[in-house]
Structure 1
Amino acid sequence: MDRLAELWSTVWARATATQPVPDLSLVAATGVVALLLVWAPATWPRVRLGVTVVHEAGHAIVAVLVGRRLRSVHLHSDTSGLTVSSGKPRGPGMVAMLAAGYLAPAALGLLAALMLAAGHSMGLLWLLMALMAALIVWVRNGYGFLVLLLGAGAVVLLTTYADPQVQSVVAYLLTWVLLLAAPRPLLELLARGRSRGPRTDPGQLARLTPLPALAWTLLLLLANLAGLVVGAATLAPSLV
């Protein structure tokens, strides 16, 4: 029991320790790299898979918070995902759960920016690992399980063996990626004319509320763009 308490104390101390905030040039450089990763055709599918993980985590977390019963999470190789929960088919809880998916990457990116500004880059990496570890319990397909297992394993290796400077760079890069990538899936919905699709989140929100799917898509997009502006101002205030 004493060893377990000592281990927990060590883990907590590492997770809550503060690290120096990097120079502005390094913060800006990670932002540029993140922008390339988000918009380059070769890297976007891989980035989008990570965004999908956060998207489905948003659905899952809010489903639990509003009292729905979480059933399963699926992640697919085409970067799509599906979160299944049971409960009332209508009402504010269902609306909140559906809206949470597209809002989750920007919300997590903003939280990450606040943590980094306070010097908690290690804490952010541990938070991401905990998120993947919690989500893996609900994943019901092999591909999704493998993605989360590899992601959590990579973070474990990074936080255990990497130099603190490398850990900080990765934390900033991931934060920029979340903020910059959050609007793109909604832009793709608009560009392809799929926002009204009955299986899309905006399409389902339109059936539950007076707002049409296009209005929901634009509202979610504006929220993500606002998160990007606030997050960028938090990470690099002198550049905004």
Structure 2
Amino acid sequence: MSSVSDRLWLVSAHPPLWVIAATAAVALALVLYAPVWRILRTAVTIAHEGGHALVAVLTGRTLRGVRLHSDTSGVTVSRGKPYGPGMILTTMAGYPAPSLLGLGCAAMLGIGRLTLMLWLVVAALLILLLLIRNMFGLLAVIVAGAAVFGVSWYGDVIVQGVFGYAVAWFLLFGGLRAVAELQRVHVRGDGSDADQLARLTRIPAVVWVLVFAAASLACLVGGGRLLLTPWPFT
């Protein structure tokens, strides 16, 4: 237990700036290269549906389960009024969630809490695992959790650092790309979160797309600053 506690609260040295920039470049390439993005986008969907689930619980709705699909789509089912603040906030939470998670990871890395960041991600995935209601979703969350845990437990500080920074950058870039894809879904009228919010609030769906884009862009700028100019240790 002492060893686990020591690992958990370990303050890690910041990697050189060129390493941080390299992880950003790799993460951006993964997000922009369509064949890879189609696979790794599931990680963004996990964060997206996790955002819906968390806010559903916080607003007093009854969470029924989460499903993740092989086409990288997902759905979170909750019970409660099909209108009102709780439903609006729950629907709003999905698209900002990956970017906000990336911002949180960037903040943890900025203060040198690399191992704590990785273990918090593992803990969140374990909780989400209990809510998954289909086989693909179970496999996706297990694989993601095993990858993060494996790096946090068996990887040395260099491997952990490269992986942690890559994860943060990927969530920041991936969250913004997911919003860009949302605009195409909205135009097709496929019942996106923006379309649902338009029905709930009478605010046009395109406005919600812009709100999500602004939030994701703000997280990218803020998270990027935290990653590129980490806080000095005292």
Sort the TM-score into its range (normalised by shorter chain).
over 0.9
Distance in 2, Cα, partners of 1:198 & 1:85: 20
Match of 1:159 among 138, 152, 157: 152
Map of 1:54-203 to 2, 5 A cutoff? Answer: 54-190=47-183, 192=184, 194-195=186-187, 197=189, 199-203=191-195
Q: How much has 1:90 moved relative to structure 2?
A: 1.2
* CA spacing shift, 1:142–1:215, aligned 2, 3 Å: same
| Percent identity between the two aligned chains | 45
Aligned residues: 230
Distance in 2, Cα, partners of 1:93 & 1:145: 27
On the 8 A contact 1:196/1:214 being kept in 2, the answer is no
Match of 2:198 among 197, 203, 206: 206
RMSD: 1.5
Distance in 2, Cα, partners of 1:10 & 1:81: 38
Q: How much has 1:47 moved relative to structure 2?
A: 2.1
* CA spacing shift, 1:193–1:150, aligned 2, 3 Å: closer
Q: How much has 1:194 moved relative to structure 2?
A: 2.2
What residue identity is the alignment partner of 1:134?
A: I
Q: How much has 1:109 moved relative to structure 2?
A: 0.6
Secondary structure of residue in 1 paired with 2:34: coil
Match of 2:223 among 202, 210, 231: 231
Do residues 220 (structure 1) and 208 (structure 2) align?
no
Determine the structure 1 residue equivalent to 2:16: 23
Runs of 4+, deviation exceeding 4 Å: none
Q: How much has 1:13 moved relative to structure 2?
A: 3.3
Distance in 2, Cα, partners of 1:156 & 1:188: 30
Q: Which runs of 5+ in 2 are unaligned?
A: none
Q: Which runs of 5+ in 1 are unaligned?
A: 1-6
Determine the structure 2 residue equivalent to 1:51: 44
TM-score w.r.t. length of structure 2: 0.94
TM-score w.r.t. length of structure 1: 0.92
